[in-house]
């Protein structure tokens, strides 16, 4: 492996971690740990396994065909077939973006005391400015390096010495002892937050931006496995901290305020600020990826010029998509929607729409005319088949669970 590949591998892993841990992971992990201690760890592990495969597939597809997913899916299945997944994807991206902006606003609220709604427009402008001014490379580097701050959850988890037996027991699914509707709602929300469609739709366009070719297939495998695995470790850290700090005190996370105390035991002086900083950075990094995922998907669907490295004058329509997306989704926060509730419901919707966004993707991974020897093998397809069954179940149960279990 040459130097450039090694750098790409390292950078890709850090970026994957930066993009992985977001408002959705923080909210669902905090709720899971506070209400059910380690009992829902299995849901995080299952989601991580599936997202590793999905991200690996989308990167492999981009490296081999040099086409991003929306581009290839429209070309392959035609506009009318792609239209419904495209609209569904745009809607969930919009809600996820609002959740990330809400997360940043809440972090600023924690530090300043001003209501989150006050921060909605300044945060929207900051996020937009970041996208408008930067190239793809700067975005990768800066958000990912700052994203390492979220490792505070892992450090805190280790400092708390969690009970190993109980933690290991949580890795296997078990039935809840209380509040079954809430248990299953959080289980589904965790899956939705981990298998977030923006992760693999962003990743495939990013690989095209970085001009990957078939020689990147192995680099891609490393990034998907280590990056997603490491990202999930941060979410695991958050579950452990919530279980050790919040659960014994009977604190349930119905509001981000309760989650904000998570780090104060492990870091007595800095815990509160550290939580706010980690939350703001995680949400900013993910928000940028979601906004870009929206712009990539729309531009590719209609064949517009696109690329984060181009001057906005060369791809005005592409830039207008993320500009409008950021502005409109920040309005949800401006109008006072509770960021945590929005995030939890959005994660369940993420899970519900999985069949729409995953089916065309998994079908195209088997096209030997496009992918030749790099088409999915039996291992990837077994995981894909399992994912499809799970996605169909999630599509049916998610929305009823939001109504029954979502607070």
Partner 1 sequence: MKTMDLVRDVLDKQVVDRDETKMGRVDGLLLEIRPGQPPRIEAIDMGFVVLARRIHPRLEAWLERLRRRFGVSSIRKTARYRVPWSAVKDVNPFCVQLDVAALDTPAFDWERWLRDHVVAHVPGVDS
CA dihedral 137, 143, 146, 149 (to 10 degrees): -140
Query: Interacting stretch for partner 1, rule CB under 8 A, among 77-85, 96-104, 174-182, 271-279?
Result: 77-85
Is position 270 an interface residue for partner 1 (rule: CB under 8 A)? no
Binding mask 203-242 for partner 1 (x = CB under 8 A): ----------------------------------------
Under rule CB under 8 A, residue 312 binds partner 1: yes
DSSP 211-246: T--GGGHHHHHHIIIIIHHHHHHHHHHHHHHIIIII
Q: What angle do CA 338, 343, 344 make, to 5 degrees?
A: 105
Q: Of 1, 6, 7, 83, which lies in the binding site for partner 1, with binding defined by CB under 8 A?
A: 83
Candidate residues 303, 309, 328, 392; the one interacting with partner 1 per rule CB under 8 A: 303
Would you count residue 305 as binding partner 1 (CB under 8 A)?
yes
Give the whole-angstrom CA distance, residue 200 versus residue 58.
6
Query: Binding of partner 1 at residue 158 (CB under 8 A)?
Result: no
Does 319 bind partner 1 (CB under 8 A)? Our answer is: yes
Q: Which of 194, 273, 181, 280 lies closest to 239, judged by CA?
A: 194
**Residue 138 lies near partner 1 (rule: CB under 8 A):** no
Q: Which stretch binds partner 1 (CB under 8 A): 173-181, 192-200, 217-225, 298-306?
A: 298-306
Is residue 136 a contact point for partner 1 (CB under 8 A)?
no
The answer to whether residue 304 forms part of the interface with partner 1 (CB under 8 A) is yes
Q: Determine the Cα–Cα distance for residues 118 and 368; give it in Å rounded to an integer.
A: 52
| DSSP secondary structure, 10-64, as one string | HHHHHHHHHHHS-HHHHHHHHHHHHHHTTTTHHHHHHHHHHHHHHHHHHHHHHHH
Total residues binding partner 1 (CB under 8 A): 23
> Rounded to the nearest 5 degrees, what angle is found at the Cα of 40, between the Cα atoms of 34 and 43?
135
Q: Which stretch binds partner 1 (CB under 8 A): 52-60, 71-79, 188-196, 199-207?
A: 71-79
Q: Examine residue 372 and tell whether it contacts partner 1 (CB under 8 A).
A: no
Burial of 389: CB neighbours in 10 Å, binned 0-12, 13-18, 19+: exposed
Residues 37-66 within binding reach of partner 1 (CB under 8 A): 66
- State in angstroms the smallest separation of the CB of 4 from partner 1: 24
Q: CA dihedral defined by 111, 116, 119, 120, rounded to 10 degrees?
A: 150
Contact between 74 and partner 1 by CB under 8 A: the answer reads yes
Q: Which residues lie near partner 1 (CB under 8 A)? A: 66-67, 71, 74-75, 78-80, 83, 132-133, 302-306, 312-313, 315-317, 319-320
């Amino acid at each position: 492996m040459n130097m450039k590949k090694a750098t790409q591998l390292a950078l890709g892993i850090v970026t994957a971690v930066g993009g992985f841990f977001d408002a959705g992971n923080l909210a669902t992990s905090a709720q899971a740990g506070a209400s059910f201690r380690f009992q829902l760890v299995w849901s995080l592990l299952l989601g991580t396994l599936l997202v590793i495969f999905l991200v690996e597939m989308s990167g492999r597809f981009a490296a081999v065909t040099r086409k991003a997913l929306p581009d290839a899916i429209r070309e392959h299945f035609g506009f009318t077939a792609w239209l419904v997944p495209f609209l569904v994807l745009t809607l969930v991206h919009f809600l996820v973006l609002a959740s990330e902006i809400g997360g940043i606003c809440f972090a600023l609220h924690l530090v300043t005391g001003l209501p989150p709604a006050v921060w909605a427009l300044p945060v929207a402008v900051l996020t937009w400015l970041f996208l408008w001014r930067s190239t793809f490379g700067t975005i990768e580097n800066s958000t990912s390096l700052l994203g390492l701050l979220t490792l505070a959850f892992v450090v805190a988890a280790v400092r708390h010495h969690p009970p190993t037996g109980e933690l290991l027991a949580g890795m296997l699914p078990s039935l809840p002892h209380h509040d079954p509707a809430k248990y299953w709602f959080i289980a589904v929300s965790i899956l939705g937050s981990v298998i977030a469609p923006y992760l693999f739709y962003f990743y495939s366009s990013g690989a095209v931006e970085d001009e990957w070719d078939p020689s990147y297939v192995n680099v891609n495998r490393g990034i998907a496995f280590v990056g997603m695995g490491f990202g999930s470790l941060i979410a695991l850290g958050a579950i452990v901290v919530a279980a050790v700090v919040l659960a014994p005190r009977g604190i349930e996370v119905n509001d981000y305020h309760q989650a904000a105390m998570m780090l104060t035991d492990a870091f007595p002086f800095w815990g509160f600020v550290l939580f706010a900083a980690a939350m703001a950075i995680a949400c900013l990094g993910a928000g940028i990826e979601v906004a870009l995922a929206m712009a990539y998907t729309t531009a590719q669907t209609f064949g517009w010029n696109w690329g984060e490295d181009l001057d906005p004058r060369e791809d005005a329509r592409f830039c207008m998509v993320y500009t409008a997306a950021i502005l409109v989704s920040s309005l949800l926060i401006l109008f006072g929607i509770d960021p945590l509730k929005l995030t939890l419901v959005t994660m369940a919707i993420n899970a519900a729409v999985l069949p729409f966004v995953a089916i065309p993707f998994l079908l195209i991974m088997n096209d030997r005319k496009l992918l030749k020897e790099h088409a999915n093998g039996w291992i990837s397809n077994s995981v894909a088949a399992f994912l499809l069954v799970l996605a169909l179940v999630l599509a049916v149960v998610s929305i009823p669970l939001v109504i029954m279990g979502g607070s």
